[in-house]
Amino acid sequence: MKRIASSFRAFRDDEQGSMAIELLLVVPILVWVFLSTFVYFDVFRVETNAVRATITLAEMFSREDSVNNTFMNSARSVLQTLTFEENDPDFRVTVYTYNEADDEFRVVWSRRRGAGIAQNLTNADLADLRAEGRLPPMDNFDQNIYIETRTEYDAPFNIGLGPFTVTNLEDLTFTNDMIIRPRGVRLCFERNSNPPLCGPG
Domain boundaries, the chain: 18-197
Taking the C-alpha atoms of residue 121 and residue 108, their distance in angstroms, rounded to an integer, is 10
In this predicted structure, what is the pLDDT of residue 123? 95
In this predicted structure, what is the pLDDT of residue 194? 83
Taking the C-alpha atoms of residue 34 and residue 147, their distance in angstroms, rounded to an integer, is 36
- Give the contacts of 110 (CB within 8 A, at least 6 positions apart): 92, 93, 94, 95, 120, 121, 122
Taking the C-alpha atoms of residue 199 and residue 187, their distance in angstroms, rounded to an integer, is 9
pTM, whole model, 2 decimals? 0.78
Summarised one tens digit per residue, pLDDT across range 73-95 is: 999 999 988 887 656 789 999 99
In this predicted structure, what is the pLDDT of residue 160? 59
Pairing status of strand 90-99 against strand 104-113: antiparallel
Taking the C-alpha atoms of residue 166 and residue 159, their distance in angstroms, rounded to an integer, is 9
In this predicted structure, which of 34-43, 46-55, 134-143, 171-180 has the lowest mean pLDDT? 34-43
Mean pLDDT in residue range 18-45: 78
In this predicted structure, what is the pLDDT of residue 54? 94
Report the sign of the C-alpha dihedral through residues 188, 189, 192, 193, in that order.
Answer: negative
Mean pLDDT in residue range 100-128: 92
User: Per-residue pLDDT for 101 more than 80?
Assistant: yes
Within 10 A of 66 (CB to CB), how many other CB atoms are there?
14
Pairing status of strand 66-67 against strand 188-191: parallel
